[in-house]
Structure 1
Amino acid sequence: MRDDRAPDATASAASSEALDVLVVGGGINGAGIARDLAGRGWRVLLAERDDLAAHTSSSSTKLIHGGLRYLEYYEFSLVRKALQEREVLLRSAPHIIRPLRFVMPHDAAMRPAWMVRIGLFLYDHLARREVLPGSAGIELRDSPYGRPLKARYTRGFVYSDGWVDDARLVVLNALDAQSKGAEVLTRSTVTLAQRDADGWAATIATPQGERRVRARALVNAAGPWAEAFLRGVARPAGGELLATKSLRLVKGSHIVVTRRFEHDHAYIFQNPDKRIIFAIPFEGEFTLIGTTDLELPDAALDGPAHIDEEEVDYLCEQASRYFEQPVTRSDVVWSYAGVRPLLDDASGDPSAVTRDYLLETHAEGGAPLLSVWGGKITTFRKLAEDAAELIGQLLGETRAAWTEQALLPGGDLRGWIGAPERPDADFARLLRAIAQRHPWLPPALALRLARAYGSRIERVIGNATALAGLGAEVAPGLHEAELRYLVREEWACGAGDVLWRRSKLGLHYSEAQRQAVEDWFQNKEETNSCS
């Protein structure tokens, strides 16, 4: 049974003298691995140089999906693994992960209908489905799903996948890791990891100063920087080469535009270059369109990724092939880009590079090292489970897996709704329960808080019995009580952490309103690990 009580920070702090495992990287893979290891009873420290999910893990298309297009590249094992994980994740966090139906308008010039039907049949049957409905054909001419489209698209298909708040997924894994005894350090850079026969001696630059730790094993989950970490930070005991794999860094960019349709389904569009893009309902008022696949020429990353003008034009052009109302540059209200660290498999086309992961271990001649190469957000839990199994073997202490049936923080709704039924129905029941218990919460605010925090909502609102009890409204719908919670319990250090990762409120605010949140952080009295 999950326990969503607040973790005791003192009791959960990992010893600075002796760790079992040091995990480098606070994206979804690093946070997931730290959670799994801590849940098996090992002493774990997670070090992230920036904010949790600051890079790739907050820049995804925000889908929990098998990857329909990967079937064309015969990635059946990857698709099956991802499809199996969809329903595991839907049950684990029904507040931040929810079912989403997709509409695929049929364009005979792209792929014949029989090929699409076969692909969808495989998609429906490669793994067992209990929550998500299967695929079906659809007439678009008289359907609400056809109205936003050009008249030439008369037939199509619908199928199921899932939507996830990707950055919050990372935070929930870090919270669960901490509740099980791990220490989570953000804004903390591992500057040196020296290997010897018995362990790793690491130096970490934290906001509080330099810290030295010793770990029996090291996990390199640095994402796009995994190869660079092995070449520049991790020092071998002898002369052996630790970096034996190469990454292909592929940038994926997205645009957010004014809302293009009123219904709750998403679209998947086939492009003449044989790629696909998605158009997804986003934040109520917008449509999210993406992604691109642009290979980066340099192996090193000097800073955050940004969308190029050519990528904006590409996404606008491809979406406009389908939507009756063209998508233009002037419609773009926000954009973001992330770098996917894909394992180099010698594919010529970046879109064809495998999204599967490889866990590479080094144990000869020194303490164990595990490096994570590649991966996708949908399979993070399975990746973490496999990584924990390997670490256990390397340490000679194999311990039982546990995450498949576990719930993430906020995902255990039983205290609000009783026995769970279906994840989507359970969340609707949670909303009704919140409205009954806290009728003073405005419906829009209750929905947003429930989506973000699930059963932990009362950790945010505390003992308030009226809106005034949440403190000053720093920006529309954002009160001091929530900001204090995010600082106290979710490692938020600045306005960007709150407005663009732990929420997407920044998309709804003016520059002055975003500045008001920044001013609050500059003047806050709360203290945390940021300073």
Structure 2
Amino acid sequence: MLVIGGGINGAGIARDAAGRGLCVALCEQDDLAAHTSSASTKLIHGGLRYLEYFEFGLVRKALAEREVLLRAAPHIMWPMRFVMPHGPGQRAALLVRAGLFLYDRLARRELLPGSHGVRLSCHPAGRPLQPRFTQAFVYSDGWVDDARLVVLNAMDAAEKGACILTRTRCTAARREGGMWHVTLRKPDGKEKQLTARAVVNAAGPWTAALLAGALGLPQPDRLRLVKGSHIVVPRLFEHDHAYLFQHVDGRVVFVIPYEREFTLIGTTDVEYTGDPGKVAIDDAEIAYLCNAASACLRQPVRAQDVVWSYAGVRPLLEDASRDAKAVTRDYRLALDADGGAPLLSVFGGKLTTYRRLAEEAVDSLCRQLGRPAPAWTERACLPGGDLFGAVPQNRSVLEFDQWSASLQVHYAFLEPALVKRYARAYGTRIHTLLRGRANVAAMGEAILPGLFEAEVDYQRRHEWAVTAEDILWRRSKLGLHLGPDAVPALQAWLDRHPVLQA
């Protein structure tokens, strides 16, 4: 099976298929999670606002997945409480209560507490809000490091035998003799021929272009490209809750604690018709997000406060919605089995439901290939998530801080804050990263503050990191802490220290 696309859906499908014993290759034209899958609001959530559009099936599916994912990767995901202040002119309080009642009960919960109302005068989340807000609703969802989630799925796929080819473009594919004959172009321009019994088109915003171009096939479903942008500003409040603000236009905006020193604000929904690889936030979106946050917070958010921004293109299923915010976030798997060589194209989807999407996709392809194999990912940890054994456990979520603290004792030669960061990024793979290292000198060169040669070597050898952008902005968010000079400094170091091929 060839999977085209190294975002969350492609990596999830490759992992699932490899774990069922299929021979799998994945190609990605850029870095893993280089586009949409690293540009999300970074939430594992049911999608409370989708209830307004009667997307009960999607919300139920996503809610059921929250705790499955939290248990599978407790190092890169964790529970988060959200505060939704309520004031005059917003959705009726009775309607919000009814929505939260459904949200709490559409799927089983073991880890996440239910919703309740609070008086803001008695809650820490009330202090940063404008005084007109006197009451709020508090509910649960989850946070995720989206780019690392993709990398972990690719790592698990590779450890189960998959071949992961980053910076490798599919330039042509044709059916012949019940097989796909595919041409892949490597970064150096050299071409590689590959045959596969099945192809998965998980190219995200490029799904339609891949169908019409390299695959030479009609498009069964129309994609609607919607740009979502986010801004990051210095930390706006000290507590650990996030906010969901209801804006005057009916949209919701999240304001979330981010990377200890910052606050993340997003997202927008803007129709997009340009090149998905060149998407960027514009001034109007920055103003929109600043105004939405300032309308609710005592401390105004200004455009000059923005220290970083990012934008991504969501490939959503076309429907009858006029407004981009109302377009469904559900997915469709389109199977074309003509000629005896299946092609499965992925349309739509959201981060939270990627595992279910992958499971359904591989179920379908296993039937087509005559290779029945049971689903397995619901009961498996992602790399680094096996804190207390190979089987996902609630304990790994509930006791993560204690586990992390024990690592700080075990690796006492490193600064506690650095060990804590390693624990969050790598989970139990911290032991692979630090194997054979008993002192700071053994960590190699301190390339940048908080970035040792040992970590860079690990990411290059195990996580397909190639460039400074890969390391500082996708494998980590160190770029946010180290400033604009960090990327060229690290890239110069990487250029002087090429990875030696085994």
Q: TM-score, normalised by structure 1?
A: 0.92
Instruction: Tell me whether 1:347 sits opposite 2:328 in the alignment.
Output: no
Measured after TM superposition, the shift of residue 432 of structure 1 is: 2.2
Match of 1:219 in 2: 200
Amino acid at match of 1:214: T
**Over residues 401-451 of structure 1, what are the superposed CA-to-partner deviations in whole Å (9 max), with x where a residue is unaligned?**
0000100000001269x9954333331122122122111221110111000
Q: 1:419 to 1:328 in 2, by over 3 A?
A: closer
SS in 2 for 1:474: strand
Instruction: Tell me whether 1:409 sits opposite 2:383 in the alignment.
Output: yes
Match of 2:406 in 1: 433
CA contact (8 A) 1:249 1:342 kept: yes
Of residues 310, 317, 321, the one that matches 1:336 is 310
Instruction: Tell me whether 1:321 sits opposite 2:280 in the alignment.
Output: no
CA contact (8 A) 1:359 1:373 kept: yes
Match of 1:43 in 2: 23
1:187-202 maps to which residues of 2 (within 5 A)? 187-202=167-182
CA contact (8 A) 2:71 2:392 kept: no
Instruction: Tell me whether 1:357 sits opposite 2:331 in the alignment.
Output: yes
Match of 1:499 in 2: 472
Q: 1:507 to 1:114 in 2, by over 3 A?
A: same
Amino acid at match of 1:355: R
1:416-455 maps to which residues of 2 (within 5 A)? 420-455=393-428
Match of 1:230 in 2: 211
Percent identical:
58
Q: Partners in 2 of 1:422 and 1:268 — Cα distance?
A: 28
Instruction: Tell me whether 1:147 sits opposite 2:99 in the alignment.
Output: no
CA contact (8 A) 1:255 1:332 kept: yes
Instruction: Tell me whether 1:121 sits opposite 2:101 in the alignment.
Output: yes
Q: What RMSD, in angstroms, separates the aligned Cα atoms of the two structures?
A: 1.5
Instruction: Tell me whether 1:254 sits opposite 2:234 in the alignment.
Output: no
Q: Partners in 2 of 1:428 and 1:317 — Cα distance?
A: 36
Instruction: Tell me whether 1:264 sits opposite 2:240 in the alignment.
Output: yes
Matched positions, count: 501
Measured after TM superposition, the shift of residue 34 of structure 1 is: 0.3
Would you identify which runs of 4 or more consecutive aligned residues in structure 1 move more than 3 Å?
418-421
CA contact (8 A) 2:87 2:134 kept: no
Q: Partners in 2 of 1:181 and 1:393 — Cα distance?
A: 21
Instruction: Tell me whether 1:516 sits opposite 2:489 in the alignment.
Output: yes
CA contact (8 A) 2:388 2:396 kept: no
CA contact (8 A) 2:201 2:343 kept: yes
Amino acid at match of 1:179: E
Amino acid at match of 1:346: A
Amino acid at match of 1:173: N
Of residues 247, 264, 278, the one that matches 2:254 is 278
Measured after TM superposition, the shift of residue 221 of structure 1 is: 0.1
Instruction: Tell me whether 1:378 sits opposite 2:362 in the alignment.
Output: no
**Over residues 280-327 of structure 1, what are the superposed CA-to-partner deviations in whole Å (9 max), with x where a residue is unaligned?**
00000000000000001x2x5263310010000000001000010000
Measured after TM superposition, the shift of residue 142 of structure 1 is: 3.0
Q: Partners in 2 of 1:528 and 1:282 — Cα distance?
A: 37
CA contact (8 A) 1:487 1:528 kept: no
Instruction: Tell me whether 1:488 sits opposite 2:461 in the alignment.
Output: yes
Structure 1: segments with no counterpart, 5+ residues: 1-20, 236-240
Match of 2:114 in 1: 134
Q: Partners in 1 of 2:240 and 2:266 — Cα distance?
A: 17
Amino acid at match of 1:515: P
CA contact (8 A) 1:137 1:156 kept: yes
SS in 2 for 1:408: coil
